[in-house]
Structure 1
Amino acid sequence: MSDAIRLIAEWSVLLIEALGIAIITLVAIYALVQALRRLFKETEREPIFQELRQRVGSGILLGLEFLIAADIIHTVAVDLTFYSVGVLAVVVLVRTFLSFTLELELTGRWPWQAQR
């Protein structure tokens, strides 16, 4: 692989990773600010807490998707070895498990189950 393509791939990975981290961070801050604003207006706390969990969980899920994409690009375009593919497989398995369990926590169903 040429050095120019490798450099573009490395910068792409950095950009996508930064985007994933930014999504998680910004959604968490936004959700927290919205929850705090509602706490001062409403007396019922449980719906506020549930909405906060939903928003933060959704932000984490979206951010994880970007982080997985960055890992795949890095492994395939920058560091393609049997070891790096193995590490990628473990990372994707862990992040997929996290995504599935977050989806179950947020919606009460597995991603492949029909909506209630």
Structure 2
Amino acid sequence: MTELIKPAAEWVAAFVEAVGVGIIGAVSLFVVVLFVVRLLQQRSVRSAYEEVRLVLGRGILLGLEFLVAADIVHTVAVELTFQTVGVLAIIVLIRTFLSVTLELELTGRWPWQKADETE
């Protein structure tokens, strides 16, 4: 049975990882186009920058979530050793730190704080 699960899990992990990378890449290209469009619409550079920064930050956060999911699938279903679990823990800590700091940078509050009712 494991000879069927491991290849399937490897494929799923690779696919989910590709989706995460694809999201980050697509959002990066999209924000470049968005920035140019906003500038052509006679908006100020600052307001265009703020909008692009917010969209890019959210895209990176979404891509990071997919990358963490791919790492978990790969480690748990394909190669479960103490070394891979340790590497996974480090990767998850780094990506969690990135997610928390990006969320703080984008919204001005910690992820566990309630959003303002005016938003």
TM-score by length of 2: 0.94
2:18 match:
18
Residue 43 of structure 1 and its aligned partner are, at CA, apart by 4.2
Is 2:91 aligned against 1:100? no
In the alignment, the residues of structure 1 paired with residue 25 and residue 106 of structure 2 have an alpha-carbon distance, to the nearest angstrom, of 18
Deviations 1:11-68 (A, max 9, x none): 0011000000000010111111011111122141111000000010000000000000
* Consecutive aligned runs of 4 or more in structure 1 exceeding 4 Å deviation: none
Indicate if the aligned counterparts of 1:28 and 1:55 stay in contact, CA closer than 8 A. Answer: no
1:59 match:
59
Is 2:71 aligned against 1:75? no
**Shift in CA distance, 34/3, structure 1 to aligned 2, threshold 3 Å:** same
1:88 match:
88
1:30 match:
30
Is there any run of 5+ residues in structure 1 with no aligned partner, and where? none
> % of aligned pairs identical?
54
Deviations 1:57-108 (A, max 9, x none): 0000000000000000000000000111011001000000000000000000
2:3 match:
3
Instruction: Give the match's secondary structure for 2:35.
Output: helix
In the alignment, the residues of structure 2 paired with residue 43 and residue 97 of structure 1 have an alpha-carbon distance, to the nearest angstrom, of 33
Matched AA of 2:105: E
When structure 1 is superposed on structure 2, of 31-40 and 7-16 the one drifting more is 31-40
In the alignment, the residues of structure 2 paired with residue 43 and residue 9 of structure 1 have an alpha-carbon distance, to the nearest angstrom, of 47
In the alignment, the residues of structure 1 paired with residue 83 and residue 43 of structure 2 have an alpha-carbon distance, to the nearest angstrom, of 54
In the alignment, the residues of structure 2 paired with residue 92 and residue 43 of structure 1 have an alpha-carbon distance, to the nearest angstrom, of 39
Is there any run of 5+ residues in structure 2 with no aligned partner, and where? none
TM-score by length of 1: 0.96
In the alignment, the residues of structure 1 paired with residue 77 and residue 43 of structure 2 have an alpha-carbon distance, to the nearest angstrom, of 53
Structure 1 vs Structure 2 CA RMSD: 0.9
In the alignment, the residues of structure 1 paired with residue 2 and residue 34 of structure 2 have an alpha-carbon distance, to the nearest angstrom, of 48
